[in-house]
Structure 1
Amino acid sequence: MRAAVLREYGEPLEIETVERPDPDPDGVVIETEACGICRSDWHAWQGDWDWIGAKPPRGQILGHEPAGTVVAVGEDVTRLSEGDSVAVPFNLSDGTCPTCRNGHANVCENVVPLGLAEAAPGAFAEEVHVPVADQNAVRLPDAVSPVAMAGLGCRFVTAFHALVHRADVTAGDWVAVHGCGGVGLSAVHVADAVGANVVAVDLADEKLSKAEELGAVETVNASETENVPRAIAGITDGGAHVSVDALGIAETCRNSVSCLRRRGQHVQIGLTTQDERGSVTLPTDAMVMKEIDFLGSFGMQPPRYDEIFRMVETGSLDPSAVVSETVTLDDVPDRLAAMSDYETMGIPVVDEF
């Protein structure tokens, strides 16, 4: 089968012919019908995240936002059958650790990142293996497009989990979203769907216009604004109730924390680059005196995907609205390169392999 393989960090992925996977006894193989191209793939391609032990090895098949059809089933799998349409989370869990058993499989103590770890080749390929499939493969509702569901593996569910489960967003709250890439635009859409007033922040007017389409009531172009937190405080009459760093650079993280009102909540979604290497200095004294909460959001528990599906069925959420384009597997190297200059918008999705 064809797959996009990392051979050298920062060099174009190689489109190669590799062996098709066979299912483990507890696994399934899915035919990949769609896979989002995520900024996390860009980080992996750059060779980032050695500081958290997540740097992918050379020879890795990247891609971690797949949706597709089950084509082979391991003998121990009980909940899935050939022909089922499924989505797969990027943070594969074992289902047996204490954290999984307590309902938090998204932060499994033995997590295996799809497309980043040698044990879990990714989904920029015609087929992808899903281990512990009863735990990790999420059956999709009837009549939904795999392209629309591709972002469920990472960006859309992470944004949903951040705002619905981690932060206390309620109707009428002001929510600031810093960075309007795929996960940022997903956060704008989710926040609007739950009744919040959204302020979107980015450097590109095109992305800010897209944020307005998805529900942002105000936008801030950071390239034209001397003090982003002050601008948000003015818009929100005192600061955001919840703010999201959807990019992961030092400036957006600090702006997100600093734009909050007293007892506000910051949610960190974006992971850092080589410049930060996992550490960002923060205004800790001000955080103490204002009782600011600093929260993380990492994917979402597979059993809770139904919350999104119910909102999709009623028209409250539309993950496809964040999909910006569909491309072929051969386009993946160029789309990753475009992310170096933030030239992509929304969620590009591979739908031809």
Structure 2
Amino acid sequence: MRAVVFEEFGRLPEVREVADPVPPPGGVVVRVEATGLCRSDWHGWMGHDPDIVLPHVPGHELAGTVAEVGSGVVNWRPGDRVTVPFVCACGRCAACARGDQQVCERQQQPGFTHWGSFAELVPVHHADTNLVALPDDMPYATAAALGCRFATAYRAVVAQGRVRSGEWVAVHGCGGVGLSAVMIAAAAGARVVAVDVTPQALELARRFGAAVCLDATGLPGDGVAEAVREATGGGAHLSLDALGSAATCAASVAGLRRRGRHVQVGLLPAGGVTVPMDRVLAWELELLGSHGMAAHAYPEMMRQVAADTLRPDLLVGSVIPLAAAPAALAAMSDGSGPGITVIAPGRDAAPAS
């Protein structure tokens, strides 16, 4: 098969022929029709993930068809249209027994713990626990957008954030996960403040339902949090750091009202993040993490997508061929563009629909 391979962290990957994967016991091999280009892939390529062993194939947001089934798989057959959460759970540990597969104690992650979906084929572990069936009318590019950023944002806003209609929700960072959070919060009846530094991202946030779009360019120190508190009449009820930086994390927490809820969605570098714990204590703030969404939790999100209440297809900004993936991954060193870029292995680039 053809795959995007890197042999050194931070060095430009290349597309090359590699051996086809075989299905693991209890797992499948999926023929990749579409896979999202995510900032988490960039973090992996830069060497920020200790699970990655070189040489490596990145990619974890995927949709396609089952190509081959391993021993012990009960519910899936070749040709089935599927997607998968980026956390592939074991289905047997204590966390999985509680229904918390997104924090599985023995999780596998395509593109991190093993070769990923920037390829024509990808193995998926524990298929009966992790695969999600796709409706026949859902485009693969739309389905690929669900696997990490949209599903993560959905759980962050709805389950972890416990959003309520009429609340103020601040979203710091309007890349793929941030714009997903804007759309999901607005669909839930919340009033959204979208915070970013690029006009294109803020325009998309407005299009997806943000009531206030705040350009954070040049705002000093606590300026972003102060602007959020002013826009919301005292602070957000719920705030999400959808980027993952010391500045956005601190601004998200500081922009809350009393008894507000902060959800950390963007990956943060180890150390170096200062949180105002005195305010957390005095104002009884909640600090929460959000790490993907289990396959069994997909049905309600998929129902809202089918009803056009949620439109992840509108987040897809471009579809590129596999050959363009190395340069697109490297370009993320200069920041993530608005919307979601989807890679279609083995296909010519085509406009997003």
TM-score by length of 2: 0.95
Whether 1:152 aligns to 2:146 is yes
1:5/1:61 contact within 8 Å kept: yes
Whether 1:97 aligns to 2:68 is no
Query: Which amino acid is the alignment partner of residue 309 of structure 1?
Result: M
Mapped partners of 1:294, 1:188: distance in 2: 19
Deviation per residue, 1:257-316 (Å, 9 max, x gap)? 00000000000001123xxx2451110001100100000000001001111110011110
Mapped partners of 1:45, 1:23: distance in 2: 25
Mapped partners of 1:105, 1:76: distance in 2: 20
Mapped partners of 2:117, 2:210: distance in 1: 32
Mapped partners of 2:196, 2:145: distance in 1: 21
1:335/1:344 contact within 8 Å kept: no
State the superposition RMSD in angstroms: 1.1
Mapping of residues 1-353 of structure 1, within 5 Å: 1-49=1-49, 53-54=50-51, 56-117=52-113, 120-226=114-220, 227-273=223-269, 277-353=270-346
Query: Which amino acid is the alignment partner of residue 34 of structure 2?
Result: A
**SS of equivalent residue, structure 1 residue 95:** coil
Mapped partners of 1:267, 1:171: distance in 2: 18
Structure 2: any 5+ residue segments left out of the alignment?
347-353
**SS of equivalent residue, structure 2 residue 217:** helix
Mapped partners of 1:295, 1:215: distance in 2: 24
Deviation per residue, 1:106-153 (Å, 9 max, x gap)? 100111221111xx2100000111111111111112210110010222
State the 1:165 CA deviation: 0.6
State the 1:343 CA deviation: 4.5
Query: Which amino acid is the alignment partner of residue 305 of structure 2?
Result: V
Mapped partners of 1:57, 1:279: distance in 2: 26
State the 1:224 CA deviation: 4.1
Query: Which amino acid is the alignment partner of residue 331 of structure 1?
Result: A
Query: Which amino acid is the alignment partner of residue 330 of structure 2?
Result: A
Mapped partners of 2:103, 2:336: distance in 1: 31
Query: Which amino acid is the alignment partner of residue 324 of structure 2?
Result: D
Structure 1 residues 194 and 15, CA gap change in structure 2 (3 angstroms): same
Stretches (4+) displaced over 2 A: none
Deviation per residue, 1:226-265 (Å, 9 max, x gap)? 4011111111000000000011110000000000000000
Mapped partners of 1:156, 1:139: distance in 2: 17
User: Percent identity at matched positions?
Assistant: 46
Mapped partners of 1:302, 1:343: distance in 2: 27
